Chain A
Amino acid sequence: GAGVSQSPSNKVTEKGKDVELRCDPISGHTALYWYRQSLGQGLEFLIYFQGNSAPDKSGLPSDRFSAERTGGSVSTLTIQRTQQEDSAVYLCASSLDLEGQYFGPGTRLTVL
């Protein structure tokens, strides 16, 4: 079966523009996570979706960041009015129960 996919793989944008990053989780996985990884750093938790429950948005760094998950499957992370400090790799992961999270290849975002 297919793993977690993310698109685009790379995104270059100008400061102030909005961007949308997409994540397709593994089919049947009920949990979906977004993380941010700055150059050479660890993973910073952003947001977590579990089934139909309200998402845990406690990791979102500002109100410019939002995410949604439609139909319990595909998720979109939106960053409005991008800033240079938003430049990072954005990783999506999905999981079923506690077997471990499976990660996508990430989207490298560069804000000029």
Chain B
Amino acid sequence: AQTVTQSQPEMSVQEAETVTLSCTYDTSENNYYLFWYKQPPSRQMILVIRQEAYKQQNATENRFSVNFQKAAKSFSLKISDSQLGDTAMYFCGLYTGANSKLTFGKGITLSVRP
């Protein structure tokens, strides 16, 4: 079985500041993929960033970067220079080839304050 845990239900950050969202996971697979998705109030799920487990280098997409700690099974998302449009729910996801499913955490609500 694979699990994804997002223990922080909500966070708040001042505009232009940096915030880190936590995620831990568990899987017995050695090859897997990790994702962060953003869901704004419009409810459209948007893929933010993706990390292959076999890559040691942390993925980066503009203001979004991850801290992937494979041994600790930790996959946090850092948002730099937070913008009001970053206000959304953020879901961490784990995909393994074993069952071809994307397992999501419960999500975290991020509010960016002006």
Range class of the B interface residue count: 20 to 34
Please give the distance in Å from B9's CB to the nearest CB on chain A. Answer: 9
Known: A48-B101, A98-B33, A98-B95. A41 touches B47 (CB 8 A): no
Query: Considering the chains assembled together, what is the distance between the CA atoms of A37 and B107 in angstroms?
Result: 11
- Interface residue from A45, A98, A105, A106 paired with B101 (Cβ < 8 Å): A45
- Interface residue from A33, A42, A100, A102 paired with B91 (Cβ < 8 Å): A42
Query: Considering the chains assembled together, what is the distance between the CA atoms of A31 and B101 in angstroms?
Result: 10
- Interface residue from A33, A42, A98, A103 paired with B44 (Cβ < 8 Å): A103
B residues lining the A interface (CB < 8 Å): 33, 35, 37, 42-47, 50, 91, 95, 97, 99-107
A residues lining the B interface (CB < 8 Å): 31, 33, 37, 41-43, 45, 48, 50, 56, 89, 91, 93, 98-106, 108
